[in-house]
Amino acid sequence: MQNPAMTSAVDPQLITRILFQGHSDFLIVLFYLIGYAAIATFCWGVYVTGFRKYSRGQPIRFSELRQRFVALLGTVLSHRTLRRRDRGAGRAHAMIFFGFVVLFTGTSIITLQADITERLFGYKFWYGNFYLGFSLVLDVAGVGFLGGMLYMMNRRKWMKLPKLDYRRPDRAPDEAQFDRDRYRREDWAFLWILVLIGVTGYLLEGARQVWLQDDPTVWPVRWWQPFGTLVSYALIELGVTADGAHGFRTALWWFHGMLALSFIAVLPWTKAKHIFTSIGSLMFKDLRAAQQLPKTDPTADKIGYGKITDFTWKHLLNLDACTKCGRCHEACPATATGYPLSPRDFILTLREFANHALQNGAMPDEEALVVHGRGSNQVFAETLWSCRTCMACVEICPVAVEHVPIIVQMRRKLVEDGDMDPLLQKTLQGIAKNGNSFNESRRKRAAWTKKLPFEIKDARKEQVDFAWFVGDYASFDPRNQKVSQSFAKILHHIGMDFGIFYEGESNSGNDVRRVGEEGLYEMLAENNIAMLKQSIFNKVITTDPHSYNTIKNEYPDFGGAVEIEHYTSVVKRLIDDGVIKLRKKLDYRVTFHDPCHLGRYNKGYEPPRDILKALGCELVEMARSRDNSFCCGAGGGRIWMPDPVGIDKPSQNRMHEAAQIEGLQIFVVCCPKDLTMFEDGLKTAGYEGKFIVKELIELLDEAMELAEPVAAAPQLEHA
């Protein structure tokens, strides 16, 4: 069908744009030479900053490539990871991304005809209706592209977002690497170059229309390039003639072309590299990055990451994928409370180190490969020990950078070298000797049961339905012992057939592993697995999210696969089935803290909330909840290390947040370590007497009013 804009006197094949119109053969050849040089420079950069660099890391293989690619497409097309917790930036990036893709595709189509189909086969397709529709799509896409870029400029210049402040918490203000001002310059250069490419593109459209306004193949169809046409009218209003537009367009054509080719040439060495590295990082994303840490080779002569060449190629790729968006920086409890760690700056430090060490032709000596230390772009030990392994950084990263696994790998090297806090070292020695972090005799593990008016079965000796893996804090900490006693009374009251492992149970090893003590972890795991295999039960239940995580996700790697549930999902099911009867409605105004290892690690967000609703409590969510929950500060072994004087602890920070809830009565937790950390934080933050911290089990105990025993044991169904 003929376009109404075309007259019968005009051949549709003439409705097109001649690429090098007005250029001599010499200038055309010169442009191609410069273009080929830019492409060659780009390819060399990809090799140097990509293939050669990553090949110097340790090998790692991936399966299910098709499924990974499909998941990647879903993530990229939906932009879901970029929209999380920053919708403005997500929308702007989508405008930039899709605008760029359309413009790049358009340029590729033009190149396809000019350099391949027309040159080799004499076949042309870029004319007539296709050309006009093509022009309209590109014109609109360019506006979206520029709109996104301008929003990003506004975001950096006027919004003053703390997460875009590149000052480092692990360096002093007088140190050369503290400010990292060059990153700001790089950001602005990146934005301005792309804005200039976009703006000059519209100026070229407008100038061409003014120049060829008497051409029947150009001016009559001008509105198929609506924004370029608006520019042409502006130029005419400014008094630009056809000859003036021709000269202006010629100069601008070269400026625009050289800018675009320069961008392509230097792309592998700039911020723009993330166009490729972030896609690679998402493609090879580890869906269980922190839940299931990698095993070590027992025959290896070294452990962990001591040198940059110890990193896997995937983790080297992660370093380059970081876009400096600051979301991990914003989410990190260590950063928020003044510790010398920012997940973003940690990754950028390692990126700079890797670039310096691995991008040169010749490998540097062994000393220059060591990533630990206090030299330029080395990582301080105190930076690594500041991490809570709460996984907030991994959870929010839009490009799947694996901060926590990298930190743990580097900690493994520190542990091997004995570079740790003396109190942590003493705790680990106690765990190795007695199987618990309190350095108490194994025989005292079940001492809390002696105050109960009934005996709890020994799951090692008697068959039970549910085997309760109690955990260290629930067994030895006096405050948590009361919670354990309440839970035991609840289970006994409803007639549940359950038992515990008494002194046969050892520390589960979850936090030992995240400290970096892999050898001790494997010993603990093997001991617990042997005990589990010798016992007869249908399912393991635990009140400790830390134990829940490692038994569920990591013990199977060591031959210890068992079915395990956190108590909240079990209790929720028992309430729904009418087995647990709630006699008293609790009219408390409460808020709930998601434990990292139950929430972010294992997505157990709903059961605790369902229980609170069943109890009759009014639940008011804190601003940071569910996958954005703020760590209590205990994870990653930090509960076994002293905090620096004068620093606001994560638990105190969380209490400040909870205190903002008007009329709050109870801060509810469902983790023994949370109970310990937040009761301390409540006092030290100055909120004692304003609200209290309670375990969910204690509220359940209160609502059940356990004065009356149940007549007969019910038959329980498993999930």
On whether both 323 and 438 belong to a single domain, the answer is no
Confidence band of 9 (pLDDT split at 50, 70, 90):
low
Evaluate whether residue 336 is within a structural domain. yes
On whether both 364 and 442 belong to a single domain, the answer is no
Residue 712 clears pLDDT 80, i.e. is over it: no
Q: End of a domain among 281, 297, 331? A: 281
Q: End of a domain among 422, 452, 486? A: 422
Highest mean pLDDT among 184-193, 313-322, 703-712 belongs to 313-322
pLDDT the model gives residue 718: 39
Evaluate whether residue 487 is within a structural domain. yes
Evaluate whether residue 299 is within a structural domain. no
Strand segments (E) across 25-93: none
Confidence band of 714 (pLDDT split at 50, 70, 90):
very low
pLDDT the model gives residue 495: 96
For residue range 126-142, what is the model confidence (pLDDT) as tens digits? Answer: 889 999 999 999 999 99
Q: End of a domain among 388, 422, 456? A: 422
On whether both 388 and 492 belong to a single domain, the answer is no
Q: Average pLDDT for residues 644-654, to the nearest whole number?
A: 92
On whether both 446 and 401 belong to a single domain, the answer is no
For residue range 48-91, what is the model confidence (pLDDT) as tens digits? Answer: 999 999 999 999 999 889 999 999 999 999 999 999 999 999 99
On whether both 414 and 435 belong to a single domain, the answer is no
> Mean pLDDT score of the chain, rounded to an integer?
93
Confidence band of 707 (pLDDT split at 50, 70, 90):
low
Confidence band of 662 (pLDDT split at 50, 70, 90):
very high
CA distance 183 to 166: 8
Residue 239 clears pLDDT 50, i.e. is over it: yes
Query: 48: which residues sit within 8 A by CB, 6+ positions away?
Result: 268, 359
CA distance 349 to 305: 15
Neighbour-count burial of 587, counting CB atoms closer than 10 A to its CB (0-12 exposed, 13-18 middle, 19+ buried): exposed
On whether both 170 and 275 belong to a single domain, the answer is yes
Q: Average pLDDT for residues 616-640, to the nearest whole number?
A: 97
Q: In what order do the strands lie in the sheet with 589-592?
A: 618-619, 589-592, 666-669, 692-695
On whether both 385 and 491 belong to a single domain, the answer is no
Q: Which domain holds residue 243?
A: 12-281
Residue 33 clears pLDDT 50, i.e. is over it: yes
Evaluate whether residue 1 is within a structural domain. no
Residue 715 clears pLDDT 70, i.e. is over it: no
For residue range 81-97, what is the model confidence (pLDDT) as tens digits? Answer: 999 999 999 999 999 99
Residue 709 clears pLDDT 50, i.e. is over it: no
CA distance 11 to 17: 14
Residue 1 clears pLDDT 50, i.e. is over it: no
Evaluate whether residue 297 is within a structural domain. no
* Count: domains in the chain: 3
Highest mean pLDDT among 103-107, 163-167, 179-183, 701-705 belongs to 701-705
pLDDT the model gives residue 296: 86
Residue 10 clears pLDDT 80, i.e. is over it: no
Q: Average pLDDT for residues 488-500, to the nearest whole number?
A: 97
pLDDT the model gives residue 235: 96
- 566 and 510 in contact (C-beta within 8 Å)? no
CATH number, domain of 330, equals: 1.10.1060.10
Percent of the chain with pLDDT over 90: 84
On whether both 558 and 662 belong to a single domain, the answer is yes
CA distance 235 to 224: 18
On whether both 74 and 85 belong to a single domain, the answer is yes
